[in-house]
Chain A
Amino acid sequence: MANPITSSKTIESATTDKVFGYLSGEGLTRSFSKFARNIVVPVFALFVFLMLWDSGAKQVQTSLGALPGPDAVWIQTQALYDEHNAERDKEAAFYERLQKRVDKAEAAGKPQEKIDKIKNRQYTGPETFFDQVITSLVTVMTGFILASLIAIPLGIIIGMSQTLYQAFNPIIQLFKPVSPLAWLPLVTMVVSAVYVTNDPMFSKSYLTSAITVTLCCLWPTIINTAVGVSGVSKDLINVSKVLRLSWFTKTSKIVIPSSIPMIFTGLRLSLGIGWMVLIAAEMLAQNPGLGKFVWDEFQNGSSNSLARIMVAVLAIGFVGFILDRAMLMLQRSVNWDKNAILR
């Protein structure tokens, strides 16, 4: 092994280098200041925030009592978790009883259709908070994926033709700022009129919410894709001309890869908007997700309601954050421009 007295630079290994860095006083201060910046500062800021929240919330009196502080919210978080477990236990117990009845019926030699009828019974207990988070996620992803499937091809076509861009631009600019609340009544009526079936695969509230999300998160993806496609370097277009690439090869080998960074910027913006829109849409459409949870608690008006709504607010923020991080990671993994700083 290397002699520890020699300068750390003579040693190749990065780990030993680091160890020496820690041992020397300078390295220690540097690593400490890094630790302070990355851990201590955010934790301290969070602590200050909680203090301000706690003292500020007590000052605001409502008909349902004072605004909940962090402690009340924490209690309600646990309560929601307990309710979730209790509901799951009840569900398990239900299916256990059901199985016993099926066994009994089979033992008694009842006809097959009767047994099937028993078997097909579903548990119909209320959805828990965590079920509602899942419902919201499924709904927003449906709307988002639907929007992406429309917006990316449309954006590519618009971006490739100056004429089409001029044609579509005013329409896009007109619809881009429209609030989801304005779309919702229209979407509700259209879904009710068009989606008529005796054996619905999806509930209408789910479709209404998802389509509203689609309508609101189409635009950033269309615009960014079009900008990305129209901004393909002229030199690369010349390369494709010299090679006489077909339209399809040119699009798949040059235009789309080149605009991937912009497409993902658009997708990330879209998903962020979609998640915000979803909560409003669920409130009005009564889709059993986080939006409905907030609305139901508001209507419920118990002394715990405000704290439970606050739990939902934090959950909405947290899920939104996770969605954004996931998109960022996806964006980083597909981005060919490794020098681009994405945050």
Chain B
Amino acid sequence: MKSYLEIDHVGITFPTDNGPLTVLEDVHLSVNEGEFISLIGHSGCGKSTVLNIVAGLLQSTNGGVVLENKEVTDPGPDRAVVFQNHSLLPWLSVYDNVKLAVDQVFKKSKSKAERDEWVRHNLELVHMSHALNRKPDEISGGMKQRVGIARALAMEPKVLLMDEPFGALDSLTRTHMQDSLMEIQATLNNTVIMITHDVDEAVLLSDRIIMMTNGPNATIGEILEVDLERPRDRLGLAEDPHYNHYRAEVVKFLHERHQHGEAQPQAAKTQEQVGDPEETPPLSLVSGG
């Protein structure tokens, strides 16, 4: 059977002042419908580049992306993106931000009343119905990201692309958002590709974790199938040996075999998170929980 989304031997080369720079090389991945995929890897390994190529915001130099037997050439609402910094229009209310997307996508297929209903429904889904008329400046970071997710879901995308959706949130808010996302995923069963820096997040949410090697010439290093029963419960899994095994696999890949070029081993930290070397000090190994 032909897969739903095929990332077919994709590579991308950027011209720079010091000659061409190959960021991605031979990235090959088949995604099934309804599958939740995480991309994990160190900063600068081209995770976002993969996502942007699938979104159509970047054009690959080699290979291509095929979604439902159609090649992806430009951006479109069938591949909705949830951006890391929410990217809501600050001059529009929460409602109007989602409405802009709904009006654009369902201009012809839905009546005005149906579109209004659809906007409200999607905001309800992310528990933001109480703040319809607030401006993005007036709500918290987690709420903004909820609205960003509602906007993306409202486009009824074939694939939902999430670029470190919870990266800018504090860890408590992040766990709430992860739970919300799992809940939504249980109802809608979307096909999702999510970029993350967070090992726990990847294991908790994904069906498969795509671990990427370091750039330049980054490619897929290993693919880990996460065979944990859904619905998954954060508390229950903390003690689960399978869960901890998966977690350890990812940590080993990231820190033993593909340690970041600039990363130096450091004293243990309590929470694994692959840090951006510019922003946070590089992380290192912790015994697997």
Contact = CB atoms under 8 A, between A and B. Distances in A.
Interface of A: 233, 235-236, 238-239, 241-245, 249, 253-254, 257-258, 260, 336-339
Given A235-B85, A253-B100, A241 B90 contact: no
Nearest to A256: B91
A338 B137 contact: yes
B165 interface: no
Contacts of B85: 235
A242 B89 contact: no
A339 B137 contact: yes
A336 B90 contact: yes
A201 to B, nearest CB: 40
Contact of A241 (B75, B101, B137, B155): B75
Interface string B83-111: 10101011100000000110011000000
6 contacts: A235-B83, A239-B87, A242-B55, A243-B77, A243-B155, A337-B137
A137 to B, nearest CB: 31
B90 A242 contact: no
Contacts of A243: 77, 100-101, 104-105, 155
Q: Which of B55, B75, B155 has most A Cβ within 10 Å?
A: B75
The DSSP consensus for interface residues of chain B is loop
Given A242-B76, A243-B104, A253 B83 contact: no
B238 interface: no
Interface residues of B, number: 23
A236 B75 contact: no
B137 A242 contact: no
A337 B137 CA distance: 8
A253 B89 contact: yes
A126 B83 CA distance: 67
A242 B91 CA distance: 19
The DSSP consensus for interface residues of chain A is helix
A292 to B, nearest CB: 44
A106 B81 CA distance: 81
B79 interface: yes
B190 to A, nearest CB: 16
Contacts, number: 54
Nearest to B81: A242
A194 to B, nearest CB: 42
Given A243-B77, A253-B89, A257-B91, A238 B57 contact: yes
A235 B87 contact: yes
A65 B100 CA distance: 70
Nearest to A235: B87
B76 A244 contact: yes
Nearest to A238: B57
A337 B91 CA distance: 8
Interface string B153-167: 001000000000000
Given A242-B81, A243-B101, 8 more contacts: A238-B57, A238-B87, A241-B56, A242-B75, A242-B79, A243-B104, A244-B75, A336-B90
Q: Which of B74, B91, B100 has most A Cβ within 10 Å?
A: B91
Contacts of B76: 242, 244
A261 to B, nearest CB: 10
A223 B89 CA distance: 24
Contacts of B55: 242
Contacts of A235: 83, 85, 87
Counting from the closest, the 6 A-B pairs by CB-CB distance are A336-B91, A235-B87, A241-B75, A257-B91, A243-B104, A242-B75
Q: Which of A238, A258, A339 has most B Cβ within 10 Å?
A: A238
Contacts of B56: 241
A236 B148 CA distance: 12
A337 B79 contact: no
B80 A242 contact: yes
A245 B87 contact: no
Contacts of B104: 243-245, 249
A244 B77 contact: yes
Nearest to A337: B90
Nearest to A243: B104
A236 to B, nearest CB: 6
B9 interface: no
B135 interface: yes
Contacts of B91: 257-258, 260, 336
Contacts of A337: 90, 137
Contacts of B81: 238, 242
Contacts of A245: 104
Interface string B42-81: 0000000000000111000000000000000011110111
A260 B91 CA distance: 10
B37 to A, nearest CB: 19
A32 to B, nearest CB: 35
Contacts of B80: 242
Contacts of A257: 89, 91
A337 B90 CA distance: 8
